[in-house]
Structure 1
């Protein structure tokens, strides 16, 4: 009985401890948010520096556009050189810098106890700057998510923390970095919830919000305080625009599925090459350079292209060329394993698809480009709420939220129907690890012992001798353990088959009653209103597979809960999702 009270009290104290840890993590998130903002500023400067060095031969951190350089055959050589540098950095530095960062962050959270290395924190932004600066068709968001996450993880590792607490600070740093780059605090928080945290708890949510707000406060000082992609225009109203937005969502959802399939087909093709993986980014650089010869706008992050799409200033043939060529160079470059993000390319491709459909829709191509961006982000990343809000925050067109939500939901539905996994989790699944991006409440946290316990369980009398108990377990026992009760049915303890084996070795005539073998201090019981999760914790900590359920006032045994009974909670949840029944 004492053990039961202690277990329930420990559960209550754990809740209070979680509250204190939440406040501690929120305070630490101030530091992490500042680190994420500074990392974003540093990454932007590094990209500008690399762009100036590669394309203009000057040492400067001022923003520069690759399209301003002269077109020539050497445009193919620069992406190749960048790919060679990245391959060497990955081979002799850390292969964690390969890819677009978000799958690596997810994998670290779920399978690496949220521990990132200082090497990744240093090499990821450097490799991304080289990649984007040499013409790689990527954005800064994937690298900054990885870099900001590394900052949060490294800071957490300076203290004695659990893996869950390290995860909170890792995600806080990632969301802070994204906020500093794009100025989208709400979307960054939702991205953390939908893609990175794999939970919705105050312990993680509050610190992430703190880090994001800190980074948002730093943004006007370090980068720019306004909307990243403002554009004029009004939002169409009525039912038809909502239906049209859903239609654009269907188109971009299918585009997202096609891009995901194509990406991993390209990646498989690189794996079949008879050369070491460190040379793949250079090979991909050849295709990037050739794409640059076709249209230099496909090189680099392409943020001016996003702005041009939203402004509606591009001709149809230019939009079509941008869609096709950008998709090819991005898929090949990313499939080669170089370093870069997926969000900016997705925004360009979704924006181009939306702008093309917007040629015949009310509101103008620019407005529908924004709707396309919401749709493709939702479809590719399986983050519909993030996609809907991200497009509105980027442009400050919050009045378009119903339409971006319609597009995001439609694209999400298409993505789920056409793809088993998102473009992010497919990469992890190819490493043999399945990721489920669906949240549900643990049934063990919803139910109480009274709902699952086996009632009127078989018991043993406290007056039974150990010799008789040993014979009972040898001949008639159906379970591994039984509650022992007194004449009034009050629980005295629990005896098991292990106890019976020990009693069989005792000398004849030395047996005693079961009451004399039991200790109240070791008795593990629960009450009818005890949460199932608490009982499960008791079983894990004690190794006992059956816990008696007793009336709180009388201590009479009213039921017993076994490990098998805990599986009933899972079965009940499954039946509620799959069972079909008509009206009664």
Structure 2
């Protein structure tokens, strides 16, 4: 999506989407710690780009990326059942520190449409469920805790971003070597995690990790699971696995948030898990607004938006110019 956004010559085809979807389903089906939002976003953007190419008269004078962005927004909104997140993410992710504002209305309409179609076929329940009141209050010390979470998540996101870039560089190696090494390393990480936690937390998209965080754990165990999850995601990517990094960032943030929360305010662990989700995701993709909105929509906890904003801003400032994707551009000279 980002390559096509910045390079009009880069082809985004529906035929390629089918292959990517099959690869993503295979990756996740085999336990790869990735997310389905990548293929969903690619499919939506490919469909939008194809429609705009086929109907040039209807979009005369419009930006050539209008339906590309709208399709990407619809894909994210549908897979996460989060319409506002889909629109904001598609507009926010192409640039560091800026949004592609001219596509706002098409993105909003497509995002809402994608959400409505998806929930009509499934349900409207948030993808994450927490046993707490969505209107729950927070204390002033939690705002300081939010800033601390933002700093910690930015450090974690910077490290994870470097790890992902190294893993992508490893994909230039022969496929046979990559598959053998990645399979062996994933098996080792799985055994280590099972030995430490008794759970299979290094495989799967990560929803099980969120459930696991509802229990009390030592800081060192949380740190170990975070490292193991990050290594497992990078290893899957290096081995040729296909999937999104949205959910891995969310899961990493949840772990960091739980650890900080146990130190700052152990009586309100859910708040800090949510703050970590927003901060880590916002820092990794440089999308603070989309990250905060995602927490509100995907968890049904809008009462935590204010401290989440503090966490996301702190993470954005500490993150610097790092990003988990190499296709994101600086806003200089952009529209």
Task: Assess, with a 3 A threshold, how the Cα gap between structure 1 residues 268 and 113 changes in structure 2: closer, same or farther.
Answer: closer
User: 1:247, CA displacement in angstroms?
Assistant: 0.8
**Is 2:121 the counterpart of 1:217?**
no
User: 1:384, CA displacement in angstroms?
Assistant: 1.0
Question: Could you say which residue in structure 2 is the equivalent of 1:332?
Answer: 235
Per the alignment, in what secondary structure is the counterpart of residue 297 of structure 1? coil
TM-score, length-scaled by structure 1: 0.51
Residue by residue, what CA displacement relative to the aligned partner does 1:347-398 show, whole Å, maximum 9, x if unpaired? 1111111111111232432321111010001111111111122112211111
Any conservation in 2 of the 1:319–1:356 contact (CA below 8 Å)? yes
Tell me which of the two structures has the higher relative contact order, counting C-alpha pairs closer than 8 angstroms and 6 or more residues apart: 2
**Larger gyration radius, structure 1 or structure 2:** 1
User: 1:156, CA displacement in angstroms?
Assistant: 2.2
TM-score, length-scaled by structure 2: 0.87
Q: Distance in 1 between matches of 2:21 and 2:63?
A: 24
Out of 328, 342, 350, which is 2:245 matched to?
A: 342
Which runs of no fewer than 5 residues in structure 1 stay unpaired?
1-104, 429-433, 443-584
Q: How does 1:395-544 map to 2 (within 5 A)?
A: 395-416=299-320, 420-424=321-325, 426=326, 428=327, 435-436=329-330, 438=331
User: 1:165, CA displacement in angstroms?
Assistant: 4.2
Question: Could you say which residue in structure 2 is the equivalent of 1:119?
Answer: 15
Out of 265, 280, 287, which is 2:185 matched to?
A: 287
User: 1:236, CA displacement in angstroms?
Assistant: 4.3
Q: Distance in 1 between matches of 2:269 and 2:53?
A: 48
Question: Could you say which residue in structure 2 is the equivalent of 1:181?
Answer: 79
Q: Once superposed, what is the RMSD of the aligned Cα atoms?
A: 2.5
Q: Distance in 2 between matches of 1:125 and 1:146?
A: 9
Per the alignment, in what secondary structure is the counterpart of residue 298 of structure 1? coil
Residue by residue, what CA displacement relative to the aligned partner does 1:421-446 show, whole Å, maximum 9, x if unpaired? 3111x2x3xxxxx821x37887xxxx
Question: Could you say which residue in structure 2 is the equivalent of 1:45?
Answer: none
Out of 122, 129, 153, which is 1:252 matched to?
A: 153
Per the alignment, in what secondary structure is the counterpart of residue 123 of structure 1? helix
Out of 351, 354, 366, which is 2:257 matched to?
A: 354
Q: Which has the higher strand share?
A: 1
Any conservation in 2 of the 1:138–1:341 contact (CA below 8 Å)? yes
Matched pairs, number: 320
Q: How does 1:37-436 map to 2 (within 5 A)?
A: 105-113=1-9, 115-160=11-56, 161=59, 165-196=63-94, 199-201=100-102, 204-233=103-132, 235-269=136-170, 271=172, 273=173, 276-277=174-175, 280-281=178-179, 283-294=181-192, 295=194, 296-309=200-213, 312-313=214-215, 315-316=217-218, 319-362=222-265, 363-416=267-320, 420-424=321-325, 426=326, 428=327, 435-436=329-330
